[in-house]
A = this chain, B = another copy of it.
């Protein structure tokens, strides 16, 4: 590789080298403002999501420093805000909970290892250009998974609102455990939790109209409502300190070690890596899909485009940084990115400035957070995830496609009843199976000519002209192993029903590929039709399909011809068939 092409490749894979060159004063101001707002939003979020992942609060802060800097260097999306997010935190808790108990050093090390593994996978997938893998998660499966995860997360946080200890990874477990623990409800925690829920709900739904009514600009009112969580945090800290709620049994965040995380490789054994492989893969794919859809939505608003392979590298770098700085898996979050975007962020530098803000908070604000009730954090989580729950999508998908609906419903049920990993795996498996099942029974239509045109349509749906001696069948699917027998049965069945047929034309306008199994079937059809005195023709065969057929013996053995268009086929064969009828000695 020459130096010039190496530097081009490096530039292509390191977006900061591109946007960094033209970085000016105006962009700097905008990025700083956005960073300040996102920092305020991210402090309670990072503590809350760390709690959701079963980790001490400082781990959430650590995961919001270096990963953001790494993404600023390698990430391609201009306004994506990376950090801890709800679904990935829940998946981390499920995966790491299999390895070690919460509160142990092993749990911390496994969470960091998970980030490292996931980061390595993402970078590798980006370099191998495997971004397309995310396409195998269908939209209904993703939407179902996010809805179910939201419900699961909200349910899991109820224990903090009640101030009891309860557990569980699935909805029945969580509810049973809550029911058992409910008599121990701490009324102080309940009061704080319900109060925070009410305040945050009010801020989300009512505060903006109120503020604009008081004369604030819409944008300012919108940004002001985003500070509601930090207000709730401040108010409940004061309350807990003033009333000494810790002594009254209210769970508080407690002492958070002051200072930045040390850079170090987590303790890493091949055995641990093997156990974490499957969850790391799932977390990588889910995190990538969540992040890339946010990034695409925001980029489209500013007429920018996203390179999915670059996003893989950016997120991979962020996760590697998280794993090396005692963090846990991160990805681009929806709400936070929207705030970053609307606050005016112009480049990924806003993310780096946010990292500076969080680092400052880690150094100097942590003593203030010791008195923060966990119920407040739970309230912020519950309101954030319930906005992800979307039951309307179920109704829409039901109306459009029963197959997609069943994949979505299966994902929701499996996630709620069996947990996050079985949920997403069964959703993906079911949507693949349904796709294969559908293509294994292809739609096939006998077609005829639309009078006065060269156009051929289904005889059952349109008034068309047909010949009694020529049967034209259009098969509406690529021919491959799963449907080749269905085609064979259909053609031979139609010919058996109508002894007057002399020519069969297979109209291939919808056939995008013919694999080796389907080729065998076509050879069998050709052979059997020939024995029955019927010629077999093809029409409208596409270029790539024809190229391939020419590499086989099929065209040589074909009893009929290959026509460029169905119109030519009909014109030629209807004449021939009429001739044959006049000379019956030719007919077998």
Contact = CB atoms under 8 A, between A and B. Distances in A.
Interface of A: 132, 135-141, 300, 305, 396-397, 399-401, 403-404, 431-432, 435-436, 438-443, 445, 453-455, 458, 461, 476-478, 480-486, 492, 496, 509-513, 515-517, 519-520, 528, 542-544, 548, 551-552, 564-565, 567
Contacts of A543: 445, 458, 461
Given A509-B510, A548-B400, A548-B401, A517 B482 contact: no
Given A476-B542, A476-B544, 10 more contacts: A135-B482, A139-B517, A305-B496, A397-B516, A401-B515, A401-B516, A443-B542, A445-B543, A458-B543, A461-B543
Contacts of A481: 135-139, 141, 431, 435
Nearest to A306: B489
| Residue among A432, A483, A542, A567 having the largest count of chain B Cβ atoms under 10 Å | A542
A309 to B, nearest CB: 12
Nearest to A399: B551
A130 to B, nearest CB: 11
A252 B544 CA distance: 59
A311 to B, nearest CB: 13
Nearest to A552: B400
A176 to B, nearest CB: 28
A515 B442 contact: no
Contacts of A510: 509-512, 542
A544 B460 CA distance: 12
A249 B169 CA distance: 64
Contacts of A138: 480-481, 515-517
The 5 closest A-B pairs by CB, nearest first: A138-B481, A404-B516, A139-B517, A476-B512, A510-B510
B480 A435 contact: yes
A515 B403 CA distance: 9
Contacts of A485: 132, 135
A246 to B, nearest CB: 49
Nearest to A517: B139
Contact of A442 (B137, B458, B512, B565): B512
B403 A136 contact: no
B455 A140 contact: no
Contact of A454 (B137, B140, B454, B512): B454
17 contacts: A132-B440, A135-B481, A138-B515, A138-B516, A139-B516, A396-B552, A400-B516, A400-B551, A400-B552, A401-B515, A403-B515, A443-B512, A454-B567, A458-B543, A477-B512, A509-B510, A510-B510
B439 A478 contact: yes
Contacts of A492: 305
A291 to B, nearest CB: 15
Contact of A438 (B397, B513, B548): B513
B399 A140 contact: no
| Residue among A458, A481, A543 having the largest count of chain B Cβ atoms under 10 Å | A481
Given A455-B565, A477-B478, A140 B517 contact: yes
A484 B548 contact: no
A574 to B, nearest CB: 18
A166 B544 CA distance: 51
A453 B481 CA distance: 35
| Residue among A481, A496, A516, A551 having the largest count of chain B Cβ atoms under 10 Å | A516
A436 B401 contact: no
A543 B440 CA distance: 19
A460 to B, nearest CB: 8
Nearest to A484: B135
Contacts of A396: 552
Contacts of A515: 138, 401, 403-404, 435
A195 B548 CA distance: 47
A376 B527 CA distance: 40
B544 A443 contact: yes
A519 B455 contact: no
| Residue among A438, A478, A519 having the largest count of chain B Cβ atoms under 10 Å | A478
A226 B439 CA distance: 44
Contacts of A512: 442-443, 476-477, 510
Nearest to A460: B543
Contact of A136 (B400, B436, B442, B565): B436
